[in-house]
Amino acid sequence: MAFNRNLKHTFDSLRREVCRMDKITCIAYLLFSSSKNQEIKEKAIQLLNGDVSIRDLKRNTLTQSHLVIAESILRKKKIDKNLVQQFAETYMTVEI
């Protein structure tokens, strides 16, 4: 039993390390990459840029189910931080 707990702790630490980006960026990436629907992709970019919140997306019937799935994937699987970083670099709006 102790071995299983240690293994789970190691996995959880690894998952946090792999997706060190903030939770919002990871969810935006998952939303964007998991859908072919252009409206969902646009909402993912808006989420990345802070134009819409997680709460807003949970209230939107179009994005609600996709958001639940993205949050579930984030909790259960490790995400390649390079892909998340590439997504953020491509779609994040920087205002000067």
Structural domain contains residue 60: yes
Sign of the C-alpha dihedral computed for residues 76, 65, 82 and 85 taken in this order: negative
Structural domain contains residue 69: yes
Structural domain contains residue 56: yes
Q: Span 40-48, mean pLDDT?
A: 95
Sign of the C-alpha dihedral computed for residues 40, 43, 44 and 45 taken in this order: positive
- Domain holding 52, by residue range, is 2-91
Average pLDDT, the chain: 82
Structural domain contains residue 67: yes
Structural domain contains residue 59: yes
Number of separate domains in the chain: 1
Q: What is the pLDDT of residue 3?
A: 45
Structural domain contains residue 96: no
Sign of the C-alpha dihedral computed for residues 59, 61, 63 and 69 taken in this order: positive
Q: What percent of the chain has pLDDT over 70?
A: 76
Q: Is residue 37's pLDDT more than 50? A: yes
Model's pTM, two decimal places? 0.74
